[in-house]
Structure 1
Amino acid sequence: MTPPTPTTVLRAPGSLLLAAALALAALLFAAPPASAHASLADSTPGDGEVVAVAPDEITLTFTEQVSLADDGVRVLDPRGEPAEAGAVTDLGDRAHSVALGGDLADGTYTVAWQVVSADSHPISGAFTFSIGAPSATSVTPEAAAPRGDDGASGLLYDVARYAAYGGFVLLGGACLFALRCWPDAASRRAVQRVALTGWTTLATATFALLLLRTPYTGDGDLGDAFDLGGLRDVIETRTGTALVTRLLLLAAAGVFIAVLHGGYARLRAEPEPDEDDAARARDLTFGLALGGTILAIGIAATWAMSEHASTGRQTGLAIPLDIVHLLAVAAWLGGLVTLLVLLRTEPALPRSAVRRFSGVALAAVTALAVTGLYQSWRQVGWSWSALTETSYGRLLLVKVGLVATVLAVAWGSRRRTGRLGENVAEPAEPAEPVAVGGGEGDADAADPERARQLARQRAAMATARRDRARDADPHRAGLRRSVLAEVALAAVLLAVTTGLTGTTPARTAVAESARSGGTAAGDDATAQDPGDLSLPFDTGGVAGQGTARIELTPARTGENTMHIRLVDPEGAPTGAEEIGVALTLPSEDIGPLTFDPLHVDVGHWTATGVRLPRPGAWELALTIRTSDIDQITETVTVTID
């Protein structure tokens, strides 16, 4: 069978790359605005609440740690004028407050808040409360709480984030290929270009993320990107520190690249190295491998320690596994790109290099499967509805489908690897220049125009020889096409992964839906957050009946916040003389741990710093005393992750 011609080979790549570009554009432009891991858990006054007298301050409590600017909470009166007095105060344990001015008139007030979640994403919102009685207001929640991530700044930030991931993949994959799969690749210009492209893209994208951070987490004004005060504030945050650290590590990576493609490449290119050169090559290989590993782990950690892995459950395990996940992606996908450019430019690429990369890819895919399953469980759980009814779950299903498709194509590539010839088309000796128009060689050299013609002719002949040698093995041409397909699919896969990092995890989305009365199902097919409990009580006295509504957030090991609200049978807030809470973990003989909730408002108590050391089924004993003699203790089980 006649091997495919170069024209046939090039047509398929164009279609694949076009499809990848269109898919990437669709993902970036059609994806919903990035949401965050944290959400507003409670406020005082509550949304829609009517209070008899003006409160001294507004208190907001979030499900996780957040950071606020001094003007992160604004209170607007019915005419839209500011009603707060002073900057935001951090009360600790996820709570923040802002003082109100004196002599506030009756009417409806709007509270607009804008914070940055611990996993680096901005969130904002607004709610209303009324003093005396509700009234008309000129303020709309959308205008009061603009979103910087929903607009041009959000799109540019997502593009820069995608470019950063892509740059890391190219940089890590190219360097690993040169050190592990084929050391001679360090001296090949094509591989050098891949590594330098990755380094430049990652450095540029990181710097762009640093500048765009202010408008992205603010009101979206791109002019704020050059606000030095805003840049200083960004650097003081966890995300800003991570970006600056990444730039510093990239400076060291620049030295690494110079040594790899400089001194190391020259040592490897020695035709007959003596013992000293061989020893230096071994020492340099070890040093580059060690230094490269440290740099790669450090750069990957700048993502893991500032995004989803750094918040939520089991962060001590999630962060290192996320680093492994990122390194495996770079080894696999970046190595694929490096292999592709070598298959197109290196006729004598040895079969052993392809086989070594096949082994590296297999190990990387195994690591991706293990870490990916853990990440999926951590962010989704075991609920099928959380996969199908949340944006995060649906994107995760798309990612799984893409990974399966890439693996199917990779299986075909692996089969072709075994059929490659070992010594295919060794580079031919340069042909003698063909004189143009006759004459002696000296005369040709003296004529600049003729010398340029000879140079072009020589280059064309070398390219033709390379293409003939490259396509001499039909299995190599087939491998090149299948690897190109893998790379095109990988570009789309990377876009989906970028989208996942900016989407609310399914567990959080389900919990938010439950708190707001939504229909999304959570773990174990229940719509109730494990930390939201309803406990009927009857102390036996006059007006001693009602329901205690208990909210424990985030219902995980470590520090929690508890809100207790008592309502009478008609649903109106009701009081009590004293409230007490005790928590016990019978399975491990821990407790009782006692807490004295602080009375906040009529029928509302809160306890901060509720530290639970172990996961499991905790027994919560709530003691309610409505008079000197009327008291009861009710017990309920709460599951702590």
Structure 2
Amino acid sequence: MHSTESSDRRRPFRIVTVAAVVLIAIVLAASVATPVVAHAYLSDADPANGEQVETLPEDVTLFFSGDGVQVADVTVTGPDGEDVSGDATIDPDDTQIVRTPLEAPTESDDVDGMYTVEWEVFADDGHTTSGTFFFSVGDGPLDRDAVLEAYDDEDDADESVPPVETAAKGLLLVALVALIGGPLTAAIAVYPAAGRVGASAQSVDRRLTRLLAGAGVLLLGSVVALGLVQARSVGPLVPGTLLEFAGLPLGQAWLGQLAFAAAVVAVLGAAVAGSFSRRGWLAGTVVGAVGVAGTVSWTSHSATAIGRLQGFAVDLAHIAGAGLWVGGLVVLALVVPPLLRDTLPADRTALVVDTIRRYSVLALAGVTLAGATGLILAAWHVPTLEALGETVYGTALSAKTLLVLLALGLGGFTRFILLRRLESPTDAGRTGFGGRLFGSSSESGVREDGGQPGRETITTFRRAIILEVGVLVVVLLLSGLLTSAPTAAVAGDDTLGSATIEREGDVDLALTVTPVEGDDGDDRFLVGAGEPVVFELAFLDDHGESVASDRTVRLSAAGPDDTFDVDLEETDDGTYATVQTLPADGDWELRVTGSPDGEFVSEWFDAHASPASDAHEHDHDEHDHDGGPDESPSPFVTLLQFGAVVVGVVGTVAVALEATRDRDRSE
């Protein structure tokens, strides 16, 4: 008997030792990666946004960062409003490149003018993104309103979160952790502890199979709902669309999820009917749930943007860690309390103590695994500390982190206070908060006043565990939100900006420039060299109202080896505007002249054209698809990476010590 128990105790030790080695390998390999943009976002184009070309190109090429593209829809509208594009094709060698052919013009066609490109793509992670940009053919003037609209559409990052998809993913994660951690906790903690006090294993079977069967049905329903939502992004929800979706890589992953989820339901159905051995349905449930988790991880933000194997391993380890922790708690909260009621009162405390001890090794391993990989995921998807408060992703991650810390506090309370009081006869009779919450019991299960701990022990146990489970279920639902929202890595992307510099005089004037690349504090405009820029001038009276000019309003510019002199056109709102480029990088002097109310006005402004974007001189064959410029990670990302390593190492040592201490107690 002693040999059997010792072997039984060594099993979790061996499991967590192997898991510890895997964890350290994953953490060290993954912690060096830099933040990326998940979903597919347009990072470049040929022709580029705002580029002026001499002749109409044969095609328009789009370059995406973050995820690859599975379905693309691109429409190019010419100067006359006609669609001049063919069917978009995805490069078979690089799914981040989409090409759309343009209709070849005839000799009589006038192709000069502005072309608008509207795009929408369905990415590897199952999300749809869209946008608009423009280019022009010839050297004719560009329309100010059209340029502003195109810039606005290009930089309007969509942070909308689909509610049905978010709910489906959240419930899927809840079911997964129960199906991964539940059977393992039952096999390693509940069944052995019940056996030691002579409790009925059949009683555990009945309650556990019903719990896991419910989780299996929830898993299957969530997988079906998620697949239908993602298929809807491809087209109308008809059989043809489902077949098209099933032929995509994401659709094939969904079919795999469906097969694994259906297998889990079948195995648990057989277990409920009593036609499957305990070892068979416990192992089958875990294998099927891990299969679903694997397909989910294969199509996650990290796998599609960081790298398939690296992102897959970290995401799968994160789900597995959550399963060991949260799934085990679900079993403790819903299976063990009814088991206590069926146990002799004198054995109830021993059952609780032994179960918590055994589960603590798994829980600590799960917390370490989930914590270390969670920090890695945050380092990948949150580039700066400020990004936590600037996006839906960052806000949800912050809330999730606070709730995880709360759950850790509750878990520590159960492990180091509840367990100690249950084990200690001298502490059992203490009054105050601890005594009122936990009651008083001795190690033999008999209270000092001669009573039995029965109901008090059950109530104490359930309150502590159910509260922790409730907090962690909310955490899992927030994780569903995180997997549906664009990552915080997009928060640092430049968006459409304008800058206005005012000059005071007999007639005030204000020059506004759109877009600008930033503000250097020197009262000058910062723009991109070679990019179309909207210059808008307003003459203002004492009340801030626009004043019309009696003579032509002009903009003169002098820069490095180049000058130009153009007339500004009056707009409907009483300002004067033009669209021009500062073709050479460097410092420019801008002069605006006009005659508001018959009074001649001349003012000078400074501007600096930066070549940072290299919009028209890039080499598309060496285009960077990694989601952003090649730069060192921020101090915040470095801190997260360091934290992942620390949590992994310290947690692994703690797991080994806990497993050793637990094994020694049994011997």
Query: What TM-score comes out, normalization by structure 2 length?
Result: 0.57
In the alignment, which residue of structure 1 is the partner of 2:466?
484
For structure 1, which segment, 255-264 or 194-203, has the greater mean C-alpha deviation from structure 2 after superposition?
255-264
**Cα offset for 1:569?**
4.1
Match of 2:228 among 211, 220, 224: 211
Q: What is the aligned counterpart of 1:608 among 621, 629, 633?
A: 621
Residues 38, 63 of structure 1: 8 Å contact kept? yes
Letter in 1 for 2:207: A
Q: How does 1:42-121 map to 2 (within 5 A)?
A: 42-69=44-71, 72-77=73-78, 80-88=81-89, 90=91, 92-93=93-94, 94-101=96-103, 102=105, 103=109, 105-121=111-127
Structure 1 240/325 Cα, relative in aligned 2: closer, same or farther at 3 Å? same
Give yes or no for contact 1:36–1:121 (8 Å, CA) kept in 2.
no
- Are positions 1:375 and 2:386 aligned together? no
Q: Percent sequence identity over matched residues? A: 26
CA RMSD between the two structures: 4.5
Change (3 A) 1:142 1:507: closer
Residues 1:487 and 1:76: Cα distance change in structure 2 (over 3 Å): same
What displacement does 1:510 show? 2.5
Of 192, 202, 223 in structure 1, the residue corresponding to residue 219 of structure 2 is: 202
Alpha-carbon distance in 2 for matches of 1:305, 1:344: 37
Match of 1:591 in 2: none
Aligned CA distance change for structure 1 residues 370 and 117 (closer, same or farther; 3 Å): same
Whether contact under 8 Å (2:217, 2:265) holds in the other structure is: no
Identify which of 164, 171, 176 aligns with 1:168.
176
Contact 1:43 1:61 (8 Å CA) reproduced:
yes
| Residue 310 of structure 2 is aligned to residue 317 of structure 1 | yes
Letter in 1 for 2:77: L
1:602–1:112 distance in 2 versus 1, CA, 3 Å: closer
| Mapped partners of 2:406, 2:517: distance in 1 | 35
For residues 125-176 of structure 1, the C-alpha deviation after alignment (integer angstroms, 9 at most, x for no partner) is 112333444347799779999x9x988x922222222221122123223323
Q: CA deviation at 1:259?
A: 5.3
1:352-391 → structure 2 map (5 Å cutoff): 352-380=354-382, 383-391=384-392
Q: 2:325 aligned to 329, 332, 352, which one?
A: 332
Counterpart contact for 2:79–2:112, Cα < 8 Å: no
The separation in 1 between residues aligned to 2:224 and 2:376, in whole angstroms, is: 31
Alignment CA distance shift 1:127-1:475 (3 Å):
same
* Alpha-carbon distance change, 159 to 142 in structure 1, aligned in 2, over 3 angstroms: farther
2:167 counterpart of 1:159 = yes
1:134 alignment partner in structure 2:
142
Corresponding residue of 2:261: 250
Q: List per-residue Cα deviations over 1:176-215 (Å, max 9, x = no partner).
A: 3332222327754432232111111111111121122132
- For the 8 Å contact 1:238–1:306, the answer to whether it is kept is no
Specify whether residues 58 and 571 from structure 1 end up closer, same or farther in structure 2 by C-alpha distance, changes over 3 A only.
farther
Q: Which whole-Å CA distance do the structure 2 matches of 1:194 and 1:158 have between them? A: 24
Name the aligned partner's letter for residue 206 of structure 1: V
Give the match's secondary structure for 1:119.
coil
2:403 matched residue in structure 1:
402
Query: CA 1:120–1:509 in structure 2 vs 1: closer, same or farther (change >3 Å)?
Result: farther
Offset of residue 373 of structure 1: 1.9
Query: How much does 1:59 deviate?
Result: 1.6
Alpha carbons 1:76, 1:82 under 8 Å: kept: yes
Instruction: Determine whether 1:507 maps to 2:489.
Output: yes
Bigger relative contact order, structure 1 or 2 (CA pairs below 8 A, ≥6 apart): 2
Is the 2:204–2:335 contact (alpha carbons within 8 Å) kept by the matching residues of 1?
Answer: no
Distance apart, 1:356 and its partner CA: 2.3
Q: How many residues align?
A: 443
SS of alignment partner, residue 91 of structure 2: strand
For structure 1, the 5+ residue unaligned runs are 1-34, 219-223, 268-283, 423-468, 521-531, 535-542, 547-565, 573-600, 619-640
Aligned to 1:438: none
For residue 559 of structure 1, what is the aligned residue in structure 2?
none
Whether the aligned pair in 2 keeps the contact of 1:325 and 1:367 (CA below 8 Å) is yes
- Alpha-carbon distance in 1 for matches of 2:478, 2:402: 11
SS in 2 for 1:69: strand
- 1:497 counterpart residue number: 479
Residue 85 of structure 2 aligns to which amino acid in structure 1? E
1:236 paired residue number: 247
| CA contact 2:403–2:475 (8 Å) conserved in 1 | yes
Q: Structure 2 vs 1, CA of residues 334 and 293 (structure 1 numbering), >3 Å: closer, same or farther?
A: closer
Distance in 1 (alpha carbons) for counterparts of 2:471 and 2:259: 32
Amino acid at match of 2:300: E
Instruction: Verify: 1:182 aligned to 2:190, yes or no.
Output: yes
Structure 2: runs of 5 or more not aligned: 1-36, 192-200, 425-450, 498-514, 520-527, 531-558, 563-581, 589-613, 632-640, 642-667
Cα 1:607/1:81, change in 2 over 3 Å? closer
1:496 counterpart letter in structure 2: L
Q: Check the 8 A contact 1:186/1:260 in 2, yes or no.
A: no
User: Structure 1 residues 210 and 473, CA, compared in 2 at 3 Å: closer, same or farther?
Assistant: same
- Cα distance in 2 for partners of 1:42, 1:107 equals 21
* CA pair 473-76 structure 1, distance change in 2 beyond 3 A: same
1:341 corresponds to which residue? 334
